[in-house]
Amino acid sequence: MLRERLVAMRAARPAPEVASSEAGFAEHGLLACQGASIVAAYAGIAAEPPTHELLDRLVETGIAVVLPVIDDTELRWAPYSRWDDLVTGPFGLLEPAAAATEPVALADVDIVLAPALAVDLHGNRLGRGKGYFDRALRDVEPRRVIAVVYDDELLPDVPVEAHDRPVGAVLTPSGLRRLDG
């Protein structure tokens, strides 16, 4: 199955390649978020596309950043201040420690930087399969959603199910690309 193959590819991706991609994600991600007041994102861990530098640069430029906090089967969004303040939540994901503060609604966010295992040229996003981001994105216009993947994870097609939410663009280490979706 495609999802398992992509997870295995990420696990096999050399650590130096993951580390070297971070500057590209930060540079192009910062450009993609220009003009935004608030951005929803995620904290990349292990072999996921790294977001540490991007998150810090967004905050340094005055853009508010919120990260997901898993709350049962849904995501809540809490302010990000700095990487060292993140704590390990469910599934080993990093989330803001100050999750008890007033949550932010995705309706109030200008751009969502969404994790993905792959994205196709039509804006279909393949996630990890638990549906958290698809549920969170159900009321967000696809043009406001940017999937974050490695260059080789932008594919001609990915499988789509009825609950899957499309994205309007893809961010890779080599740049931002608007999609057909």
Partners of residue 146 on adjacent β-strands: 113, 169
pTM for this predicted structure:
0.93
Q: Structural domain tally of the chain?
A: 1
Return d(Cα 180, Cα 140) in angstroms, integer. 17
* Residue 156, token pair as written in the block: 């001609």
Say yes or no to pLDDT of 129 above 90. Answer: no
We report the CATH number of the domain holding residue 109 as 3.40.50.10420
Contact 150, 47 (CB under 8 A): no
Residue with tokens 């898993």: 70
pLDDT over 90 percentage in the chain: 63
Ranges 20-24, 73-77, 89-93, 158-162, most confident = 20-24
pLDDT at 114: 95
Paired strand residues for 111: 39
Mean pLDDT of the region 61-87 = 89
Confidence of residue 22 (pLDDT cuts 50, 70, 90): very high
Its domain, for residue 102, covers: 2-178
Most confident of the ranges 43-47, 68-72, 147-151:
147-151
pLDDT tens, residue by residue, 84-94? 889 888 877 88
Three-state SS annotation for the chain: CHHHHHHHHHHHCCHHHHHHHHHHHHHHHHHHCCCCCEEECCCCCCCCCCCHHHHHHHHHCCCEEEEEEEECCEEEEEECCCHHHEEECHHHCEEECCCCCCCECHHHCCEEEEECCEEECCCCEECCCCCHHHHHHHHCCHHHEEEECCHHHEECCCCCCCCCCCCCEEEECCEEEECCC
Cα–Cα distance measured from residue 172 to residue 72, given in angstroms and rounded to the nearest whole number: 30
